[in-house]
A and B are shown apart, each in its own frame.
Chain A
Amino acid sequence: MELKNLIPIIHLCEHYSVETSFFDELHEAGLIKIATLEQTTYLHQDNISNVEKMIRIHQELNINTEGIDAVFNLLQKIDVLQNELNKLHNRLRLYESDF
């Protein structure tokens, strides 16, 4: 794993005003993967957008880690259903006219 793509958790805590324990909880819930190199914990930058979403849900909606887990599972289901709906819409177009 390249260090340049990793962001120290401590920086994220400062930036988003959250405790390191919040990241530990997300890690324990399987919502994020934390890498440890030379006693420093890091998060891969590809996870930032999801983590930001989790922090917003936590801070703005007062939802705990278990709630975030449930929300993310439901959002994933919505995404799958939305894709399925798109596919069906596309197929439906086949039968919409005189064909």
Chain B
Amino acid sequence: MNYIDYYKILGINKKATENEIKKAYRKMARKYHPDLNPNDKEAEQKFKEINEANEVLSNPENRKKYDQYGKDWKHAEEFEKAKQQQQYYGGRGQRTGGQFSEDEFSDFFSSMFGGGFERSGSRNVKFRGQDYNAELQLELEDVYRTHKRTLTVNGKNIRLTIPAGVRNGQVIKIKGYGGEGINGGPKGDLHIKFTILNHSRFKRDKDNLYTTVDLDLYKALLGGEVIIETFDGKVKLNVKPETKNLTKVKLKGKGFPIYKKEGKFGDLYITYRIKIPTKLTTKEKELIKELAKLR
């Protein structure tokens, strides 16, 4: 548990007036407020710190305690005495259904002032619980098929069906898996953001897949067959004679599954990259020269 310099957090000196504290807090809060910085964990953490600093410094009694014991909190004996005397802190905990809960104040804060924040005015009105956000990393192969997965969110195991075709950055909402409702209100939702990692030979753009297939010179000239591995197994392709380098072919319906459209798929685009033979033997060179003469 480290000593936290609340004055430094708010960028004020120890002699700051109540008005200066308020102004500093407002300025910092406008910059780092989680509602104005969605999905920014750094801003959220910073906001928690400035909120905590404000909770202490804007209350003259707490500020006095902090000034007196905070800096020398390691002097346990004195500190413990002060702690025993302290009242159950019932400060200005008015955050209702916000981005984070009161119990997320630092250990330092809890040890000095206790954890007794109470929501104000909760009465008997039912309110929906807070929404939770989670991130899930999956491989591209994983989202080729609809499958089930068990996630642990806030200590609870959730069995989840992940539909095929989920895209990178997509967020899905699982209703009722967020925080508990207030006064028996409905639970909040769980928002899961998918990060799709791709270590496959395919590139994905929306529902289409792209890949490159090496073709030997003779097959490109004379035609033939190539077999490629797809997420759905092997596919045999007929290569037309005199196929040019970087020729693209489209395999309709062999791409990625379309999200929530059962049985529908994007297309697979294959680019042929012709490999020129190397380390030619004398015989090969002679034959190629013969060919060149014919042209």
Contacts and interface: CB of A to CB of B under 8 A. Distances in A.
Interface of A: 7, 11-12, 14-17, 45, 48-49, 52-53, 55-57, 59-63, 71, 75, 78-79, 82-83, 86-87, 89-91, 93-94, 97-99
B122 interface: yes
14 contacts: A14-B125, A15-B96, A16-B96, A45-B128, A56-B33, A56-B95, A57-B36, A60-B29, A75-B38, A79-B38, A89-B168, A90-B167, A93-B204, A99-B203
A93 B167 CA distance: 13
A15 B121 contact: yes
Contacts of A59: 94
A78 B125 contact: no
B120 interface: yes
A10 to B, nearest CB: 10
Given A86-B169, A90-B205, A99-B203, A78 B212 contact: no
A56 B98 contact: yes
A57 B35 contact: yes
Contacts of B95: 56
Contacts of A75: 35-36, 38
A11 B96 contact: no
Interface string B86-119: 0000000011111000000000000000000000
B125 A61 contact: no
Nearest to B182: A15
Given A16-B96, A17-B94, A61 B30 contact: yes
B212 to A, nearest CB: 6
B131 interface: yes
Contact of B122 (A15, A49, A55): A15
Contacts of A56: 33, 35, 95-96, 98
A81 B271 CA distance: 32
Contacts of B212: 98-99
A16 B167 CA distance: 38
A1 to B, nearest CB: 18
B203 A94 contact: yes
A78 B38 contact: yes
B97 A71 contact: no
A76 B39 CA distance: 14
Contacts of B198: 93
Nearest to B186: A45
